[in-house]
Structure 1
Amino acid sequence: MAQHPLVQRLLDVKFDTKRFVALAAHGGKNFPDAEGRKFFADHFDVTIQASILYMVVVFGTKWFMRNRQPFQLTVPLNIWNFLLAAFSIAGAIKMTPEFFGTITNKGLVASYCKVFDFTKGENGYWVWLFMASKLFELADTVFLVLRKRPLMFLHWYHHILTMIYAWFSHPLTPGFNRYGIYLNFVVHAFMYSYYFLRSMKIRVPGAIAQAITSLQILQFIISCAVLAHLGYLMHFTNANCDFDPSVFKFAVFMDTTYLALFINFFLQSYVFRGGKDKYKADPQKKKKDQ
């Protein structure tokens, strides 16, 4: 019996590990941007396959753990949080000169209208690493369910959609991706550093968690504002921007839903349900979405 073409396409997905490792190991000022973008275009189906596998593993593991004691996973979790914190800090540092240099030299509007040299050289290498990292960050949720921490819709929805958007948008390289990538690096630098300290059993003031959630909300307020103005420019002024309609629509849907969900998370965690006093009473609930 013949399989549906879409099913066959997903089953036939192959990940070119050798090609991936060569790009990841390249680095430097001569990073092959065109080849890096082509890698994601050629492997986009991997994100759909990974999303399906992710859902099966996460919810299957959650069901498997329902009557079992949680795993501590202290050492693996320490290592994982340290690696992601270090990666995010390095990415934020590496991309800061390009981000603010573009705003200063080209203007605020041009910084999200045009790509310029955003994906070139060493900066392009870190953009590529950022996109690739969204596949590997799915492992966050495995730690969560094995430790029997609360699994929120926001957590797994955010992981899946960000990965799919990253691999879909990078081959088309819209100018507004400069904001999403840089802001996410900065927020994750703080967030994973916080997770690392917590996993090391280092006491961190409860206000820090609230501040990080506030940063996440600010990130999506800025992203939504950028997209709103860009939409106005493209549809009412015929501006000449590096712009792809399909990526733009995807970004608008993604960022507006993230903004709504993170605001809801903030309100439920810190306003309606007693804020950090609730977390003192139930420390397990302190582990929130990234």
Structure 2
Amino acid sequence: MNPLRTPYLGRMRISTTIFLTDETITPVRLARELERRGFAGLYLPEHTHIPVERTSPYPAGGELPREYGRTLDPFVALGQAAAVTERLALGTGITLVAQHDPIDLAKQVATLDHLSGGRFTLGVGFGWNREEAADHGVEWATRRELTQERMGLMRALWAPEPTAYEGAFGVSVRASYAYPKPAGGAPRTLLGGAAGPKLFAQIAAYADGWMPIGGRGLSESVPLLRETWQKAGRDPEALQVVPYAVRPNPGKLAHYEELGCEEVVLQLPPGEEGEVLGVLDDYGQYL
């Protein structure tokens, strides 16, 4: 531990996220190290492909980092992580639900949650890359509504009894037998995205909470989300806010805990084993 730093001594769960690729530490090696060291979870992002001819700007500015076009499939990688751990929570940060067949995705989610003993969290997002979405046949203007309907279909397949679902965007499934079921009926679902009335309304409609990238501006945003949540008739104590891809320091983590956050997800570099384990050594001060 760096003696010049003040350790964070809070109670939040400390999870991690990383762009795992064909050039980084492996899912098995990372998952084992995270569990051995006492980290709470591992979340993985998703991009199926990055079209070379792209007009969508990288949200963080500048050139798109190399790892975006090399990401491992998160469900395959998390399946490996589940097989070599017993306690480590597993999640996506995020799954681009609009880019998936929802019947297939419901089966993937249910299988991973079942085989891991209920350790899976489904992070849901709407994406930023228009060209990637277009190759999946997604109409950009209605991707949020399509995501909500596909979530509705998946929840129908996860229901205890055969349940039909029909939406307005051609999203439908007849009442079906669909096993295994996720532990607890459905996995924890967190919505990613920038703060705003539209996102907050969708969180209140079909999610368990919010996954804000970087965690900036939460002092203003979290009270607004809580207001929307309660107006929708949701249990005030049930809302979860999980700051994601955070570069930590003790003051920042203490602030999140004061806001009621019970988990934070720290960003790991998309590096080889030695680099990633070195950062885990540093992050160990927050456990």
TM bin (shorter chain): under 0.3
More helix by share: 1
TM-score, structure 2 normalization: 0.24
More strand by share: 2
TM-score, structure 1 normalization: 0.24
